[in-house]
Structure 1
Amino acid sequence: MILRDVSFAVAPGESLAIVGSSGSGKSTLLGLLAGLDVPTRGSVSLNGIDIFALDEDGRARLRGELAGFVFQSFQLLPALNALENVMLPLELAGAKDARQRAEHSLAQVGLSARSLHRPQHLSGGEQQRVALARAFVTRPRILFADEPTGNLDHATGAQVIELMLELNRAQGTTLILVTHDVALAGRCGRQLRLEAGSVVQ
């Protein structure tokens, strides 16, 4: 069993950093909170809904309605330019103003001038900023971030931290992130530390 007796609540608009050593269960916990993984027992309530009472399609729909994601490896589609990557979740949701909203989101992260560039022509920091624009463009109720600064140098990581927290405050989005970055964890409103699959104070 990777996780044991983990129980906590996160308030709307709160920022929570999940910290701990490698192998402590941080990414597993994040996957369970987002409904990407299924526990052997236990429950997760997202916006008042028990996500494991839903089937896989139901959980996917709920994530599409409520959640955004930022990953360490950016997860941008290489065949699409920055603007198209940000437009994608809006287009999948049938938004009529996808282009306008995506352009605004890229402007928020300072990448209007790079909107027609594909990921391979963007730096790591620029790719992560595109990923942030994509995550926030749907105005999610909750954002899950897994090591969002893990592939970035210190200075670029600091810029991404500032941007992510600024968007979190501006949109009132609940932020739950896994990180080894002490500076990033310290900027969050609360920290939850895992050791060997259990929460420690």
Structure 2
Amino acid sequence: MGHGRKRLGRPWVIGVLVAALAGVGLGLYWFQPWKLWQDETVQEALPSAVAPAAPPAGASSPSPSPAPRLRTLAGGELISHEHATSGKVKLVRLADGSHVVRLEDLDTSNGPDLRVWLTDAPVKEGQAGWHVFDDGAYVSLGKLKGNKGSQNYTVPADVDLSRYTSVTIWCDRFDVSFGAAELTRT
């Protein structure tokens, strides 16, 4: 009779082990803890003005006009939220009239599903500011290219920039800000 009990116990133990392993696997996929020790540095130059096209051969060249310039419209300093974050944020109008959000000297933790968002939320210090950025209007400018360095994020042409007052490094998986900056108009 004791022999039958051991057989009934084995499937139960195996089932618990399989469930535990599946839970660990899902937890590793969801949290991706190894990213906390992996840095991704991206160093992009600010896009420069496009040079005017040369006149066709034999045509007289028009008088030189000053090249269109880049203009910083707003900027701010990143503050820490869920993770220690530092660096500068700039909203820049390029020579062709398009806009980019530029992160300069960014230093934050790596994490799963990090995005750069342009938002209308106020930047608040401490835990009060961790979850406010998805409460109002926001535009995702794409995945964070790297957790360190200087990077550019194109703002879609149809975005009304007057509606947005801040930028956040947003963890879309856990709905939390790693860090954010208030945009002060220049």
TM-score band by shorter chain is under 0.3
Hey, which of these two has a bigger chunk of helix by percent? 1
Hey, which of these two has a bigger chunk of strand by percent? 2
TM-score normalised by the chain length of structure 2: 0.23
